[in-house]
């Protein structure tokens, strides 16, 4: 099949030179990295900034009066300010640093649940959630005597909005919702769903791990109550992440963890807590990772992010077209609005075998249930192979993926 000329003017080869890992070979083949949904790669500028901190600035932050501590504190808090601007948060103090989306959602579920969820209440969770946006709410419900209620989806992998609206009631105390499904690529209409929830006075916790790396976001425009994401999926280091929360909720919520740094006063009779964000940041944080996250935001801001998003969309459409032309391939998740993810199965071949043979061709994909077992159960598959894209992937890599899938089919023929 002849490749259509791309519409985008995105200079992908220039961008690829920013990412040193992409120049290597795997099993004697040029690396084709299509596992961005698990972790994106890291540009040299982020590597350099993190190394500079470790080599020249390393010290514990806050409360230190010496030069290195003050310098590290300034760099770390500058990263928080970059996060605020990147997601258009109203107040930098509403941006809490965590290790990633998983810890962030656990923080929200634990602290919000202890304060606001009671016996007989309901928590709405969509059918396409990652386990990290299911299990914390199950635990909160179990501890508080509440109930998790599932927002259903259709056979295309789209949430059924009429059903969602019917599930909302005075019993609902939280809606937990992914912005972009990690297993299907579905882009959910979160702005509209948040507006609907707010008619009932219900807050919404958005898992934004798969959206923030792929298109611009604005938490004020979305009117999100909580918005949680990871650094390692947006070209930053592992161990970095953010919980954005509206001040009215964060001020009312109790701490998630306790210890140094999050207190105002401590005595054996009583402890009082620091204001946000410190209240939710007990102990020494991942300082290098936080500074690296700030550098990743600098990198994203330095490119044309909207052009990158447009290029990725074209790439996903091209990949969908290429794989749809292979009769043995079934694409799982065919929503009208998708981003960056292409999950598929091949009749009679386990996804782990697909992934192993693709790896022999230098192609990195993810094979498994993608921490979304309810999604696999819905589509009646044990697992899928998942190719997930970033703005440094190319049409030539998509062609290599399609050719390698043909080899997989030939091996098992």
| 351-396 per-position pLDDT tens digit | 999 999 999 999 999 999 999 999 999 999 999 999 999 999 999 9
**Which segments in the chain show pLDDT lower than 70?**
1-8
Please tell me whether residues 290 and 364 are part of one structural domain: no
Question: How confident is the model at residue 367, as a pLDDT?
Answer: 97
Provide the token pair at 59: 């010290």
How many structural domains compose the chain? Answer: 2
Alpha helices per DSSP H over 117-255:
135-144, 161-167, 190-199, 219-222, 247-252
pLDDT at 413: 76
Domain end, chosen from 272, 302, 332, is at 302
Query: Could you tell me which of 157, 127, 130 has the C-alpha nearest to residue 38?
Result: 130
Helix (H, G, I), strand (E, B) or coil at 65: coil
The residue to which tokens 């179990």 are assigned = 142
221 is in which domain, residue-wise? 47-302
* Tokens (6 digits) for 44: 């040299």
Q: Is 156 a catalytic residue?
A: no
CATH number at residue 145: 3.40.640.10
Q: What is the pLDDT at residue 397? A: 98
Q: Which of 302, 328, 344 is the last residue of a domain?
A: 302
- Specify the CATH number for the domain of residue 352: 3.90.1150.10
End-to-end Cα distance, the chain: 22
Domain final position from 302, 319, 351: 302
d(CA 224, CA 200): 14
Tell me the whole-structure pTM to 2 decimals.
Answer: 0.96
The answer on 366 and 282 residing in a single domain is no
3-class SS at 62? coil
**Which pair of tokens denotes residue 302?**
């330095």
The torsion defined by the Cα of 214, 216, 220 and 226, in degrees rounded to 10, comes to 20
Give backbone dihedrals phi and psi of 44, rounded to 5 degrees, phi first.
-60, -35
Residue 277 preceded by cis peptide, ω within 30: yes
Structure tokens at 390: 């970033």
In a domain, 90, yes or no: yes
1 domain residue, yes or no:
no
Residue 182: the pLDDT is 98
For tokens 């399609």, name the residue. 402
Residue 6: inside a domain, yes or no?
no
Structure tokens belonging to residue 387: 């190719």
Q: Would residue 2 count as lying in a domain?
A: no
61 and 145 assigned to the same domain? yes
Q: What is the pLDDT of residue 150?
A: 98
């Amino acid at each position: 099949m002849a490749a259509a000329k791309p519409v985008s003017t995105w200079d992908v080869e220039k961008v690829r030179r920013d990412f040193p890992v992409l120049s290597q070979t795997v099993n004697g083949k040029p690396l084709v990295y299509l596992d961005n949904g698990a972790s994106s790669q890291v540009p040299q500028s982020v590597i350099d900034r993190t190394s500079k901190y470790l080599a020249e600035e390393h010290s514990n932050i806050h409360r230190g009066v010496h030069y290195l501590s003050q310098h590290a504190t300034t760099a770390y808090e500058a990263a928080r300010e970059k996060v605020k601007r990147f997601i258009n948060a109203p107040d930098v103090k509403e941006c809490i640093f965590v290790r990633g989306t998983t810890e962030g959602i656990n923080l929200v579920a634990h602290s919000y649940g202890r304060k606001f969820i009671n016996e007989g209440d309901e928590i709405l969770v969509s059918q396409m959630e990652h386990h990290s946006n299911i299990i914390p709410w199950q635990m909160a419900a179990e501890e508080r005597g509440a109930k998790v209620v599932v927002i259903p989806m259709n056979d295309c992998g789209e949430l059924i909005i009429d059903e969602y609206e019917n599930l909302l009631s005075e019993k609902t105390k939280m809606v937990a919702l992914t912005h972009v499904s990690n297993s299907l690529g579905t882009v959910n209409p979160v702005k509209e769903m948040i507006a609907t929830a707010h008619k009932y006075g219900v807050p919404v916790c958005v898992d934004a791990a798969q959206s923030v790396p792929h298109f611009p976001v604005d938490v004020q425009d979305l009117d999100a109550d909580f918005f949680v994401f990871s650094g390692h999926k947006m070209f930053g280091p592992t161990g970095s992440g953010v919980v954005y929360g509206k001040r009215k909720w964060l001020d009312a919520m109790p701490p998630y963890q306790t210890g140094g740094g999050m207190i105002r006063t401590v005595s054996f009779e009583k402890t009082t807590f620091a204001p946000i964000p410190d209240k939710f940041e007990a102990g020494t944080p991942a300082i290098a990772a936080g500074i690296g996250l700030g550098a990743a935001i600098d990198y994203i801001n330095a490119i044309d992010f909207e052009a990158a998003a447009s290029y990725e969309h074209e790439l996903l459409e091209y990949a969908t077209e290429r794989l749809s032309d292979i009769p043995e391939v079934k694409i799982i998740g065919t929503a009208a609005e998708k981003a960056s993810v292409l999950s598929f199965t091949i009749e009679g071949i386990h996804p782990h075998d697909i992934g192993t043979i693709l790896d022999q061709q230098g192609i990195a994909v993810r094979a498994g249930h993608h921490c979304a077992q309810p999604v696999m159960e819905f589509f009646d598959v044990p697992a899928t192979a998942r190719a997930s894209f970033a703005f440094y992937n190319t049409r030539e890599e998509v062609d290599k993926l399609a050719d390698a899938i043909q080899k997989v089919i030939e091996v098992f023929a």
